Amino acid sequence: MKKSERTKQFIIEQTAPIFNKKGYAGTSLSDLTNATGLTKGAIYGNFSNKDEVAVAAFDYNFGLLSQAINKRMLLAETAEDQLLVFINFYLEYYDTVLMRGGCPILNTAIDADDGNPQLFNKVKAALNRWIKGVQTIVERGVEEKEFNTSIAPETFATLFTSLIEGGILLSKTTGETKHLITNLQYLKKLVRQLKE
C-alpha cells in the first residue's frame, strides 16, 4: 500500500467513529484534525471535501458491521440460522455497536436525509441491500420447504429490518436496551413462526 493510500485509510479509520457519533453536520473540520493529528491541508490533500470523507467513513463503518455479521453468516447452515445470525448479533454485540456511536445505517439516514444527497444515497443503498438480503434468505427458505409457502418474503424482510432498527433507535434514545431486546425476542418468535 502506498503512503498516500495508508494516509487516506488512516483518516477514514480515525474519523469514522466521529462521523457515526456526531453525524455529518455535527462533525467539524477541527474534529477531523483532532482525531487524526493531521492538518486541514493533509486531510484535503487526500479527500476533495468533507462530503468525501463522510462517505468513506460511512463505507468503513458499514463495512465493519457487515463483516462481523457475514463472518457469522458463514457458519449458518439453514435459512432460519441465517436470520438468527442478525438477531443474535445485535443481542450479543449491541454494546459494542453503541460504543462506536450506534448503527451506521440509522445514524447516517437520519443525519444525511436533508443535507448530503450523496451520503443519503449510500445509506439508502445499504439499507436496501440489507432488506433484499433478508428477503432472499426467506425466499430460499420457502423454496427449500424450510418455511411456510404463505410467507410474503418482501413484507417479512421489511418488518425484520424495521424491528431491529426501531429497537436500536428506542434503546439509543432512552438509554435502555430493553426496547431492542424486546424487538429481537419478538423477531425470534416471528422466525419460528415461518416454519409453522
Domains and CATH numbers, the chain: 55-193 (1.10.357.10)
From first to last of its 196 residues, the chain has per-residue pLDDT tens of 788 899 999 999 999 999 999 998 899 999 999 999 999 999 999 999 999 999 999 999 999 999 999 999 999 999 999 999 999 999 998 888 888 888 999 999 988 877 788 999 999 999 999 999 999 999 999 999 999 988 899 999 999 999 999 999 999 999 999 999 999 999 999 999 999 8
- The rounded distance, in Å, linking the Cα atoms of 16 and 110 is 16
Round the average pLDDT of the chain to a whole number and report it: 93
Predicted confidence at residue 110, as pLDDT, reads 86
- The rounded distance, in Å, linking the Cα atoms of 133 and 77 is 16
Q: At what angle are helices 153-174 and 104-112 packed, to 10 degrees?
A: 80
Predicted confidence at residue 32, as pLDDT, reads 96
Q: Give tens-digit pLDDT for 113-167.
A: 777 889 999 999 999 999 999 999 999 999 999 999 888 999 999 999 999 999 9
Backbone φ/ψ region at 93: left (φ over 0), alpha (ψ -120 to 50), beta = alpha
Predicted confidence at residue 90, as pLDDT, reads 93
- The rounded distance, in Å, linking the Cα atoms of 2 and 13 is 16
Q: What type of residue is 79?
A: A
Predicted confidence at residue 165, as pLDDT, reads 94
